[in-house]
């Protein structure tokens, strides 16, 4: 890609000059042989699908606001967005990390299987929906129905959580420092134990937040929906 | 106590409260719950059986039925994908999950499809290494649940099918009851073992057709625009949904009619939602015609395709290919009286009876107690499907469908099955004429057209 400039093993891609497709193809195919460890993406200007499907231990800095699905299905890479993002940042993340310096729109970290998603600002509704093992740390507050049907992993909210938190939770666990406007079906607040404090402390440390783990509440599944109408004697 | 009488007895039938209705009311009264079951709609609806071919005569000449070539090759994904898939026959195997089916059943389907040069499809449980190995052309589904979904499997797929809905339950998510959540199934789905699992009905990361367009772009970006991207919809508002799928960038649209199957869904949903495959197909074709995308976007129809005649009629109405699920299971031995073990047939009638059914009537996919070892996760039952035997039967079945398809095509004078056309068909019932918009046989009447 002629618009990529290589400076001391940092590659800069200006999305006003190159397409998202050029960038992603470079990340998928040319990165490994190039020896480049750091990619800087300029002028994202709300474009979607930036740096999706990366599978390499590199750093990607996106300088500005970006659109939907940033860092989708990421493996290994450390992606930082220096701005806000649209829907579903880090959807289906497998490993590595994605950090958003600003706010995130809906469904941040949706269905993430592993790795870490950090939103330094607020995240909108359905943050952590369907998550399957990733960790998400939100510096601010989360919108309604966050961690809806979340299966595994941890959602740490340093601010407040809106209504319907943890609706239909499976084995994921939510920690909230501020107020919880309302819990969803089958979600319940549980006492914090030593393991919880350690888990929150470790994630706050990884995410770079300096809060007292003792200030967090734990929300987990009451597991009353695990068995289909178990009270009704249906002979399955 | 009254005495017997010599008067003739007349027991008046009750069409409002017949046997099935009485049974339903009594079950509901006993359990306080709706019924969950497998397979698709059983109610009588207009089908491809209500159409017939106007084969060649003096006005058109036929091709020789055995010797003249009749092409069945089918190419899907020509719109945007760099690598469209090329199939030997226009009959594909529909998505059925590992979890709903055994790994062995998936293996048998993959092998049979491979021999005929066609594709199989994963399901709501991710891709197993067995099916990737056995299936030459494998379509990887992206479903609302995203169980086991990962970029490595995505990259080793031959096509991607984003599932918006399915015909058995358009607007609903899947179910897999606890007894089928074995350790392996639980692991692949990131769920605790033995829970009754209800899949999401909406995707976690997009809502609405504008978002869908971005989602499809993401999947294409992830796979470098190599793979065809299908969008599968359950047949309800078909015209709108097909147009939206095309607008969102689908290479292929899959429309699943109300007879389409499922491993487990509420009976009320299976029987009372969606429109018949026949009607759905006509609406889908009209949608593509209205936006001038016929030929550019391929159309796959599914939901109760059983025979080579069904395939031929679907193609004549405008489908590029069909997809079969339940019929493929039945070829494997679903609802058969016997299963095949250690080189001999074993009668399973007692096992059907033990779960309150009989061969030919079973829909117990949801219980995992499949008497013939296809829709189960119980190791003892799994042994009842001999993979080699099953693969051979599915291959035979696909081969039969293809022979029937080409027989009808040749009789219509077509050297390529994709040249079958609406003009080759007539309808046998008024309902079918109206739904398929094919003239009633012996007339030029399509209800609702030409002013009457």
Question: Residue A206 has which token pair?
Answer: 């990884």
Per-residue HEC secondary structure of A124-162 comes to: CCCCCCCCEEEEEEECCCECCCCCCCCCEEEEEECCCEC
**B5 found inside a domain:** no
Residue A33 sits at the chain B interface (C-beta within 8 Å): no
Residue B425 included in any domain = yes
Whether residue B436 is predicted with pLDDT greater than 60 in this model: the reply is yes
CB contact under 8 A, A234 and B218: no
Within 10 angstroms of residue B67's Cβ, the number of other Cβ atoms is 7
Contact (CB, 8 A) for B199 and B177: no
Q: pLDDT value at position B270?
A: 94
Q: Convert the pLDDT of each residue in B334-376 to its tens digit.
A: 999 999 999 999 999 999 999 999 999 999 998 889 999 999 9
> In this structure, are residues A176 and A219 in contact, taking their beta carbons and an 8 Å threshold?
yes
List the single residue in A75, A92, A233 with the smallest CB-CB distance to B31. Answer: A233
Q: Is B356 near chain A, with CB under 8 Å?
A: no
**Residue A51 vs residue B267, higher pLDDT:** A51
Put simply, whether B24 touches A (Cβ < 8 Å) is: no
Specify the DSSP element, H or E, that contains A42.
strand A38-42
Over residues A36-93, the pLDDT tens digits come to: 999 999 999 999 999 999 999 999 999 999 999 999 999 999 999 999 999 999 999 9
For A73, other C-beta atoms within 10 Å of its C-beta total: 26
Q: Residue B361's Cα: distance from chain center in Å?
A: 18
3-state secondary structure of A62: strand
Cβ contacts of residue B7 below 8 Å, gap of 6+?
none
Q: What is the extent of the structural domain holding B300?
A: 48-436
Which letter, b or e, does each residue of B248-280 get, where b requires 16 or more Cβ atoms within 10 Å of its Cβ? bbbbbbbbbbbbbbbbbbbbebbbebbbbbbbb
Predicted confidence band at B193 (pLDDT cuts at 50, 70, 90)? confident
Interface contact B31-A49, CB threshold 8 A: no
| Best mutation target, B151, B178, B188, B370, to test chain A (most A CBs within 10 A) | B151
In the Cβ-directed half-sphere of B10, how many Cα atoms lie within 13 Å?
A: 2
Q: What is the pLDDT of residue A2?
A: 47
- Please choose, from the candidates A167, A163, A83, A142, the residue with its C-alpha nearest in 3D space to the C-alpha of residue A155: A142
Question: What is the Cα–Cα distance from B83 to B98, expressed in whole angstroms?
Answer: 26
CA B275 to chain centre: 14
Rounded to whole angstroms, the Cα distance separating B146 from B144 reads: 6
Residue B72's closest CA among B94, B92, B47? B92
Q: What is the mean pLDDT of residues B415-429?
A: 98
Average of per-residue pLDDT values in chain B = 94
Predicted pLDDT at A232: 44
> What's the structural domain count of chain B?
1
Question: Does residue A34 surpass a pLDDT of 90?
Answer: no
Chain B closest-CA separation from residue A210 CA (Å): 30
Judge contact between A13 and A4, C-beta under 8 A: yes
Interface with chain B: mutation pick from A68, A155, A186, highest number of B CBs within 10 Å: A68
pLDDT at B451 over 90: no
Candidate from B42-56, B171-185, B249-263, B385-399 with smallest mean pLDDT: B171-185
A45-54, B60-69, B233-242, B306-315: least confidently modelled range: B60-69
Confidence of residue A229 (pLDDT cuts 50, 70, 90): low
**Contact flag A226-B145 (C-beta cutoff 8 Å):** no
| Phi, psi dihedral angles at B402 (to 5 degrees) | -65, -40
SS3 readout for chain B: CCCCCCCCCCCCCCCCCCHHHHHHHHHHHHHCCCCEECCCCCCCCCCHHHEEECCCCCCCCCCCCCCCCCECCEEECCCCCCCCEEECCCEEECECCECCECHHHHHHHHHHHHHHCCEEECECCECCHHHHHHCCEEEEEECCCCCCCCHHHHHCCCEEEEECCCCCCCCCCCEECHHHCCHHHHHHHCCCCCCCEECCCCCCCCCCHHHHHHHHHHHHHHCCCCCCEEEEEECCCHHHHHHHHHHCCCCEEEEECCCCCCCCEEHHHHHHCCCCHHHHHHHHHHHHHHCCCECCEEEEEECCCCCHHHHHHHHHHCCCEEEECHHHHHHHCCCCCEEEECCEEEECHHHHHHCCCCCCCCCHHHHCCCCCCCCCCCHHHHCCCCHHHHHHHHHHHHHHHHHHHHHHHHHCCCCEHHHCCHHHEEECCHHHHHHHCCCECCCCCCCCCCCC
Structural domain contains residue B119: yes
pLDDT tens-digit readout, A159-174? 999 999 999 999 999 9
Answer whether residue A235 shows pLDDT above 50: no
A90 touching chain B per CB within 8 A: no
Per-position b or e across B358-370, b if 16+ CB within 10 A of its CB:
ebeebbbbbbbbb
ipTM of the complex: 0.94
DSSP A187: E
| Cβ-Cβ contacts under 8 Å, B186 against chain A | none
- Evaluate whether residue B26 is within a structural domain: no
**B163 neighbors B141 (Cβ within 8 angstroms):** yes
With CA atoms as reference, the chain A residue closest to B35 would be A234
Please determine, for residue A3, whether its predicted confidence score (pLDDT) is greater than 70: no
The mean pLDDT value for B227-231 works out to 98
Let me know if residue B445 belongs to a domain.
no
Distance CA A229, CA B260 (A): 26
Query: What pLDDT sits at residue B182?
Result: 85
**pLDDT above 90 covers what percent of chain B?**
82
Residues in chain A closer than 8 A to B200 (CB atoms):
130, 149
For A195-220, how does the pLDDT look when each residue is reduced to its tens digit (9 = 90+)? 999 999 999 999 999 999 999 999 99
Assess whether pLDDT exceeds 70 at residue A234: no
Q: Lowest mean pLDDT: which of B175-179, B204-208, B290-294?
A: B175-179
Q: How many CA atoms lie within 13 A of A39 on its CB side?
A: 29
Q: Give B245 or B187, the one with higher predicted confidence.
A: B245
- Output the pLDDT for position A4: 56
Interface of A with B in 61-80 (CB under 8 A): 67-69, 72-73, 75
**Cα separation, A20 vs A26, whole angstroms:** 10
pLDDT at B214: 98
The CATH code of the domain that includes B109 is 3.20.20.70
């Amino acid at each position: 890609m002629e618009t990529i400039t290589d400076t001391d093993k940092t590659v800069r891609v200006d999305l006003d000059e190159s397409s998202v497709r050029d960038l992603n193809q470079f990340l998928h195919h040319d990165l490994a042989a190039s020896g480049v460890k750091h990619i800087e993406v300029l002028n994202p200007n709300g474009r979607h699908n930036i740096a999706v499907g990366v599978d390499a231990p590199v750093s990607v800095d996106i300088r500005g606001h970006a659109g939907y699905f940033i860092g989708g299905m990421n493996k290994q890479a450390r992606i930082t967005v220096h701005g806000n993002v649209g829907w579903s940042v880090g959807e289906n993340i497998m490993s590595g990390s994605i950090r958003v310096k600003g706010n995130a729109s809906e469904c941040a970290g949706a269905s993430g299987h592993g790795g870490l998603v950090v939103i330094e600002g607020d995240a909108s509704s359905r943050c952590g929906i369907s998550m399957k093992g990733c960790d998400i740390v939100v510096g601010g507050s989360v919108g309604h129905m966050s961690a809806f049907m979340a299966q595994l992993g941890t959602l740490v909210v340093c601010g407040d959580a809106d209504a319907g938190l943890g609706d239909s939770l499976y084995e994921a666990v939510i920690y909230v420092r501020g107020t919880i406007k309302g819990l969803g079906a089958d979600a319940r607040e549980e006492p914090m134990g030593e393991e919880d404090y350690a888990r929150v402390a470790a994630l706050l440390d990884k995410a770079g937040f300096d809060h007292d783990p003792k200030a967090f509440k734990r929300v987990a599944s009451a597991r009353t929906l695990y068995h289909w109408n178990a009270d009704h004697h249906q002979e399955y | 106590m009254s005495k017997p009488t010599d008067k003739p007895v007349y027991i008046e039938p009750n069409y409002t409260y017949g046997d099935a209705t009485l049974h339903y009311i009594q079950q509901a009264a006993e359990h306080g719950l709706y019924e969950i079951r497998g397979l698709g709609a059983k109610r009588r609806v207009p089908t491809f059986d209500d159409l017939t071919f106007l084969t060649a005569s003096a006005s058109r000449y036929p091709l020789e039925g055995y010797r003249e070539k009749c092409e069945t090759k089918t190419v899907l994904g020509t719109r945007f994908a760099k690598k469209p898939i090329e199939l030997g026959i226009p009959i594909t195997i529909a998505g059925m999950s590992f979890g709903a089916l055994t790994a062995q059943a998936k293996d048998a389907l993959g092998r049979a499809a491979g021999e005929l040069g066609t594709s199989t499809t994963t399901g709501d449980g991710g891709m197993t290494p067995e099916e990737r190995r056995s299936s030459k052309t494998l379509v990887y589904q992206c479903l609302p649940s995203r169980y086991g979904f990962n970029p490595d499997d995505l990259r080793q797929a031959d096509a991607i099918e984003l599932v918006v809905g399915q015909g058995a339950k358009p607007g609903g998510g899947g179910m897999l009851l606890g007894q089928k959540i074995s350790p392996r199934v639980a692991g692949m789905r990131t769920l605790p073992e033995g829970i009754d699992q209800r899949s999401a009905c909406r995707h976690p990361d997009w809502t609405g057709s504008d978002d869908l367009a971005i989602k499809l772009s993401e999947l294409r970006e992830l796979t470098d625009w190599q793979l065809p991207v299908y969008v599968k919809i359950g047949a309800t508002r078909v015209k709108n949904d097909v147009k939206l799928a095309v607008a969102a960038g689908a290479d292929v649209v899959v429309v699943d009619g109300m007879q389409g199957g499922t491993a487990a869904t509420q009976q009320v949903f299976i029987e009372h939602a969606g429109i018949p495959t026949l009607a759905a197909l006509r609406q889908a074709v009209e949608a593509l015609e209205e936006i001038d995308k016929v030929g550019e976007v391929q159309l796959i129809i599914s939901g109760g395709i059983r025979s080579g005649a069904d395939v031929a009629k679907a193609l004549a109405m405008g489908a590029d290919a069909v997809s079969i699920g339940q019929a493929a299971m039945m070829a494997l031995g679903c609802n058969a009286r016997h299963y095949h073990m250690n080189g001999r047939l074993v009668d399973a009638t007692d096992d059907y009876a033990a779960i309150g059914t009989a061969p030919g009537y079973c829909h117990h996919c949801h219980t995992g107690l499949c008497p013939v070892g296809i829709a189960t996760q119980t190791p003892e039952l799994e042994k009842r499907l001999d993979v080699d035997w099953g693969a051979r039967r599915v291959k035979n079945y696909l081969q039969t469908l293809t022979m029937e398809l080409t027989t009808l095509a040749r009789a219509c004078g077509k050297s390529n099955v994709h040249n079958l056309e609406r003009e080759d068909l007539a309808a046998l019932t008024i309902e079918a004429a109206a739904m398929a918009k094919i003239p009633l046989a012996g007339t030029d009447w399509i209800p609702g057209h030409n002013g009457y």
